[in-house]
Amino acid sequence: MKEYKVINPKLGFTNRIQKYEDILNQYAREGWDVKHIVPNSAMVILERDKNR
């Protein structure tokens, strides 16, 4: 079974790309995979196996 998480990170105005990368890497360390990035938005849908 899969579980999903929707995040909308607050990136601010400086170092946006680095902050976005850091956030995604932190979730990856927790076992999350990027399922979809919503166009024209910072919203990201993450997926991982529930019974890991």
Q: What pLDDT was estimated at residue 43?
A: 92
Mean pLDDT of 29-37: 96
Q: What is the mean pLDDT of the chain?
A: 91
Kindly indicate the confidence band of residue 32, based on its pLDDT and cuts at 50, 70 and 90. very high
From 38, 3, 51, 39, select the one nearest 27 (Cα to Cα).
Answer: 3
Mean pLDDT of 17-42: 93
Kindly indicate the confidence band of residue 52, based on its pLDDT and cuts at 50, 70 and 90. low
Asked if residue 42 lies in contact with residue 8, where contact means CB atoms within 8 angstroms, the answer is yes
Length of the chain, in residues? 52
Determine the residue type at 43.
Answer: M
| Residue 1 structure tokens | 């079974």
The single-letter DSSP state of residue 41 is S
| Residue 9 structure tokens | 């990170």
Mean pLDDT of 27-49: 94
Q: Where are the domains of the chain?
A: 2-49
